[in-house]
Amino acid sequence: MIKKTLLTVLTLALVTSCVSPKVYKDLEAKYDNLKKENRKLSDENELLNSGKIAAENELKQLKAAYKEAVAQRDKLQADYNATKANYEALKDSYDALEKNSSAAIAANSQKNRELLAQLEAKEQALAAENARLEKLKRELEDRSNRVAELESVIAAKDEAMSALKDAISRALTDFEGKGLTVEQRDGKVYVSMENKLLFESGSWAVGTEGRRAVMQLGTVLADNPDIAVLIEGHTDNVPYQGSGALKGNWDLSTKRATAIVDILSENGNINAENLTAAGRGEHSPIATNDTPEGRAKNRRIEVILTPKLDELSRLLSDN
């Protein structure tokens, strides 16, 4: 029975490797498009994070400007009060001197006019500073509200991703201890499956147990249409020794990632536009390649789940 199964798998591998040049070129074109889409998503994510950081920096600057404006307003208010007090004192003196000497009255009149001019100038400066302060206050409130809205959206996305991680962990409980891990970091969920769960050595045909794991993952993804799904294939640094259509480790990792996409695509409730396949070859190891254990960890499929950032993009574009 085992020999018969092995013969069937080998036959399928030979059939799938014998493709026409046209089909192979079509696959290459699809692969290039997927790479571009992946790069576009990465650029959008970096742009959104840069926008948030810029908004927070601008908020800090507005707070500093607001604080400085308050200090200037308070100083002008103090100058105004002092000038007003001096004016009132001189006016009292003027009223007293008015009874005694016309010359003194003339001198005090000139001084009073000068003080009145100073007082009016102080009042105008104070009014202008108050207007500037109110404008800064409004801008500060707008920026604070915008940052709060951004933080609220990000917090909601993080909470949704945490719930998604828990749902995936529950769906894949049967595969714990079989080379499968589920982690949440940097606002994304990472599902890592070692090749021992999915593929035979040098093959990109998914085994029965691996297919079951991928399909169970697909049931969760089908319930989360707002999640972008990037499937990355990884190998160790041992050069590929096989023959046929494969060109090397990078090609093998790409075909393995595409095989996972094909299984997920069988679920009609998963939006194919959310799926991206990418091959990383041996260039993103998570362990040393100097030991068999480390190489086994590096031979893996990583499914990276990222929330779509349409709402964040809208908030940033409203700036």
pLDDT at 292 over 60: yes
Q: Which uninterrupted H or E stretch holds 292?
A: helix 292-298
CA distance 226 to 81: 61
Query: Can you give the C-alpha Rg of the chain in angstroms?
Result: 35
The amino acid occupying position 251 is: D
- Asked if residue 1 belongs to a domain, the reply is no
Q: Which of 59-63, 185-189, 239-243 has the lowest mean pLDDT?
A: 239-243
pLDDT at 266 over 50: yes
Higher local confidence (pLDDT), 133 or 38: 133
Q: Do 196 and 310 share a structural domain?
A: yes
- Asked if residue 173 belongs to a domain, the reply is yes
How many C-beta neighbours within 10 Å does residue 251 have?
18
Query: Which of 255, 252, 254, 233 is CA-nearest to residue 242?
Result: 252
Are 240 and 202 within 8 A, CB to CB? yes
- Confidence grade of residue 210 (pLDDT, cut at 50, 70, 90): very high
Are 217 and 202 within 8 A, CB to CB? no
- Confidence grade of residue 19 (pLDDT, cut at 50, 70, 90): low
Q: Do 242 and 104 share a structural domain?
A: no
If one counts the domains in the chain, the total is 2
**pTM value?**
0.54
- Asked if residue 267 belongs to a domain, the reply is yes
- Asked if residue 252 belongs to a domain, the reply is yes
pLDDT at 13 over 60: no
Q: Do 69 and 31 share a structural domain?
A: no
**CA 130 from centre of chain:** 39
Per-residue confidence (pLDDT) for residue 160, from 0 to 100: 78
Side-chain-side CA neighbours of 204 within 13 Å: the count stands at: 28
- Asked if residue 134 belongs to a domain, the reply is yes
- Asked if residue 15 belongs to a domain, the reply is no
Q: Do 166 and 97 share a structural domain?
A: no
Are 303 and 260 within 8 A, CB to CB? yes
Helix intervals (H) in 247-291: 249-265
Per-residue confidence (pLDDT) for residue 310, from 0 to 100: 53
Q: Do 127 and 74 share a structural domain?
A: yes
Are β-strands 227-234 and 275-281 bridged in parallel, bridged antiparallel, or unpaired?
parallel
Q: Do 284 and 174 share a structural domain?
A: yes
CA distance 165 to 188: 9
| Domain finish residue from 159, 179, 207 | 159
- Confidence grade of residue 9 (pLDDT, cut at 50, 70, 90): very low
Per-residue pLDDT averaged across 54-67, rounded?
Answer: 82
Query: Which of 30, 36, 43 is CA-nearest to residue 261?
Result: 30
Query: Which of 187, 227, 230 is CA-nearest to residue 308?
Result: 227
Tokens of 140: 């500060």
- Asked if residue 2 belongs to a domain, the reply is no
Tokens of 294: 């480390």
Residue that has been written with the tokens 């998570």 in this structure? 286
Q: Do 204 and 268 share a structural domain?
A: yes
Q: Do 211 and 293 share a structural domain?
A: yes
Are 97 and 111 within 8 A, CB to CB? no
Tokens of 262: 């094909």
Per-residue confidence (pLDDT) for residue 297, from 0 to 100: 92
**CA 169 from centre of chain:** 23
Are 84 and 127 within 8 A, CB to CB? no
pLDDT at 259 over 90: yes
CATH of the domain at 303: 3.30.1330.60
Q: Do 95 and 168 share a structural domain?
A: no
Per-residue confidence (pLDDT) for residue 312, from 0 to 100: 47
Q: Which of 36-50, 53-67, 216-230 has the lowest mean pLDDT?
A: 36-50
Burial of 2 (0-12, 13-18, 19+ CB in 10 A): exposed
Query: Which of 200, 206, 305 is CA-nearest to residue 242?
Result: 200
pLDDT at 10 over 50: no
pLDDT at 314 over 70: no
Side-chain-side CA neighbours of 205 within 13 Å: the count stands at: 15
Per-residue pLDDT averaged across 131-144, rounded?
Answer: 81
Query: Which of 240, 241, 278 is CA-nearest to residue 261?
Result: 278
Domain that holds residue 60: 56-159
Per-residue confidence (pLDDT) for residue 189, from 0 to 100: 93
| Domain finish residue from 159, 180, 207 | 159
How many C-beta neighbours within 10 Å does residue 14 have?
10
Q: Which residues contact 7 (CB under 8 A, 6 or more apart)?
A: none
pLDDT at 273 over 60: yes
Per-residue confidence (pLDDT) for residue 105, from 0 to 100: 65
pLDDT at 283 over 80: yes
- Confidence grade of residue 173 (pLDDT, cut at 50, 70, 90): confident
Per-residue confidence (pLDDT) for residue 33, from 0 to 100: 85
Q: Do 213 and 149 share a structural domain?
A: no
pLDDT at 119 over 70: yes
- Asked if residue 13 belongs to a domain, the reply is no
| Domain finish residue from 159, 179, 208 | 159
Q: Which of 10-14, 193-197, 200-204 has the lowest mean pLDDT?
A: 10-14
How many C-beta neighbours within 10 Å does residue 52 have?
18
Q: Do 192 and 116 share a structural domain?
A: no
Q: Which of 3-7, 92-96, 155-159 has the lowest mean pLDDT?
A: 3-7
Q: Do 201 and 275 share a structural domain?
A: yes
